Structure 1
Amino acid sequence: MKSNTRLWSQLQRAAHARGFSTTSRRLDNYTFIGLGQMGYQMARNLQAKLSPSDTVRLFDINKAAMQKLAEEMKTQQAGGAAVQLSQTAEEASKDADTVITCLPEPQHVKSAYESILRGVGAPKDTSSRLFIDCSTIDPSSSREVAGAVSSALPDAKGHFVDAPMSGGVVGATAGTLTFMLGAPESLVSRIEPILLRMGKRVLHCGPQGTGLSAKLANNYLLAINNIATAEAMNLGIRWGLDPKVLAGVINVSTGKCWPSEVNNPVPGVVETAPSSRDYKGGFGIGLMRKDLRLAMLAAQEADAKLALADRAKEVYEEAEKEEQCKGRDFSVVYRWLGGKE
């Protein structure tokens, strides 16, 4: 009897670790819309970790990206959901149980959901449709889309949640993203296993919209820390300090932060940082500029004072205009400052 109990406990733990249920399940239809650098990798990981009896429908305005991803999914090793390509967001979402979107700007999210909601009716069974938006947009735009979903699918037949992520393209590829979830507590247990197929951590921040608020607050701090780190490193090096020695001091002192310890802006200090490969890869300066703008917009709506925001915005805008900085990791502001490389 004890042996049977131990075996059942082991089976339960194994099933939980794989993200599967030990009870019977119906087939699930997923839709993934937005196959940019992040979405492409996220969709690939999602499909690979779903059951072969499930279906993933893909849509992006870039037809070549859709076709390429579908071919990769079909040629990978055993397992993974069936893959279908769609011509519109409406077509892709029509019969989906779960729709995941990952789009660049608020206007793209609004436009996509206008199309989605034209074709999505109430589910035929007692379940509800789930819409997970992983885009980084302003919270007010996200709440606007959530309202549209509730109006189109009343009586809790549709739920729109925000789940922006952190970890960049490297994290998306490796499946190690952290998701900041804004959703009702009652939905977390349903959403979390889906997100964990594309990442390794889900942080529930509160009701719809709070995931984006947390993401933008974090990225505002990151934007400021990055400039300050670049300035401090440049200052110390011009005083004659060895950059690795200076970084070592900072990283065991009160100035320690992610831009100094992991993403140091001085080439050669951290070999794995973008600065050590001509600032290529990483989190693009244009994306940081966008997130900073969204944080400032959200701060205005909340009547929150950001004393350093305007100057930081100018720094990223001015740096991005320079050919030697454009398109590179946001730590390239060190180069814009005239830092020694």
Structure 2
Amino acid sequence: MASKTPVGFTGVGNMGNPMAKYLMKRGYPLITDDVFPDACKEFLDAGEQVVSSPADAAEKADRIITMLPTSIDAIEACSGANEVLKKVKKGSLLIDSSTVDPMVLNELAKEVEKMGAVFMDAPVSGGVGAARSGSLTFMVGGVAEEFAAAAQELLGCVGCNVAWRGAAGTGQAAEICNNLLLAISMTGTAEAMHLGIRLGLDPKLLAKILNMSSGQCWSSDTYNPVPGVMDGVPLANRYEGGFRTTLMAKDLGLAQDSAASTNSPILLGSQAHQIYRMTCSKGYSKKDFSSMFRFL
């Protein structure tokens, strides 16, 4: 079997770590870095290269994946003082799997293209559980030919659904819409479960009824927020190790900004944004976003 070329991976934290591990299992040599060096320890122990900055990763690899929490982090990783664009090689492929402002991604794409490299946005859906099981969904925006030539194969190592959505930025647009709906459905599921429990219903029985009825959704049948209803989800571990509430609040803020820029009403989305911000303020910011049930 022909050897595979190295992949640079910036941001191997909560979500990036299992993604990078799948690439390693598929035979891709890794060059990793993270603002928290301990996140890269297991890759160092496995004999993979660990570098001190995204620029070092770009110098050593012609395919780089970034997975970062905010728009500011994505900008810094690509165009900061010692970051990717300082050392990126012509013809390199940069894939950003963060969830950030689509306008920021459009600007980053232009900067990358000026350097003769290729930029694609590929935000993910499925959460930490899907990342660990290799079943993430990638929503990809960028040049279709590059998607077919390289990105689809690479992302297919860590996801079961890899779909091209259009030009750079369209992946982000799809992800923002998805997380908007997810936040609303989780809010509705938490409220319905909370009300049912107050009315004397057993939560497991109520969840079963919802999931056989028209109220069924991913938040009720796969990621139910009520302790004791499901195993294998973050709430079973005191809401630790999932998609943080503060990140959901951030994504809802992106949805608000996008709605304002396109003059689109998102009435339920605006309410969900306020609810998640309040949940953060009550001490749940680092907990999984389903901890909003506890806030209620």
The TM-score normalised by the length of structure 2 is: 0.91
Q: Pick closer, same or farther for the CA change 1:162–1:336 going to 2, 3 Å.
A: same
TM-superposed CA distance for 1:26, in Å, is: 7.7
2:128 is aligned to 169
**Aligned AA for 2:65?**
I
Match of 1:178 among 134, 137, 150: 137
TM-superposed CA distance for 1:224, in Å, is: 0.7
**Aligned AA for 1:59?**
D
TM-superposed CA distance for 1:34, in Å, is: 1.2
- Mapped partners of 2:184, 2:236: distance in 1: 21
2:33 is aligned to 59
User: How many correspondences in the alignment?
Assistant: 292
Secondary structure (helix, strand or coil) at the match of 1:205 reads strand
Indicate the RMSD between aligned Cα atoms, in angstroms.
1.9
1:97 is aligned to 62
TM-superposed CA distance for 1:66, in Å, is: 2.5
Report the more deviating stretch, 255-264 or 164-173: 164-173
TM-superposed CA distance for 1:97, in Å, is: 1.7
Secondary structure (helix, strand or coil) at the match of 1:94 reads helix
TM-superposed CA distance for 1:144, in Å, is: 0.7
Secondary structure (helix, strand or coil) at the match of 1:322 reads helix
Report the more deviating stretch, 271-280 or 300-309: 271-280
1:42 is aligned to 19
1:14 is aligned to none
Question: Is the aligned partner of 1:70 residue 2:44?
Answer: yes
Secondary structure (helix, strand or coil) at the match of 2:69 reads coil
- Mapped partners of 2:206, 2:41: distance in 1: 48
Secondary structure (helix, strand or coil) at the match of 1:192 reads helix
Q: Pick closer, same or farther for the CA change 1:30–1:259 going to 2, 3 Å.
A: same
2:87 is aligned to 119
Q: Pick closer, same or farther for the CA change 1:26–1:166 going to 2, 3 Å.
A: same
Q: Pick closer, same or farther for the CA change 1:320–1:150 going to 2, 3 Å.
A: same
Deviations 1:124-176 (A, max 9, x none): xxxx21111111111111111001011122xxxx1100011112222222222
Counterparts in 2 of 1:123-142, with a 5 A limit? Answer: 128-142=91-105
TM-superposed CA distance for 1:63, in Å, is: 2.5
- Mapped partners of 2:34, 2:234: distance in 1: 28
- Mapped partners of 1:47, 1:283: distance in 2: 23
2:167 is aligned to 207
Larger gyration radius, structure 1 or structure 2: 1
Identity of aligned residues (%): 37
The TM-score normalised by the length of structure 1 is: 0.80
Match of 1:281 among 217, 241, 266: 241
Counterparts in 2 of 1:192-271, with a 5 A limit? Answer: 192-271=152-231
- Mapped partners of 2:263, 2:181: distance in 1: 18
Deviations 1:193-240 (A, max 9, x none): 100112222122222111111111011001011111111111222222
Report the more deviating stretch, 142-151 or 238-247: 238-247
Identify unmatched segments of 5+ residues in structure 1: 1-19, 75-82, 123-127
Equivalent pair of 2:58/2:89 in contact (CA under 8 Å): no
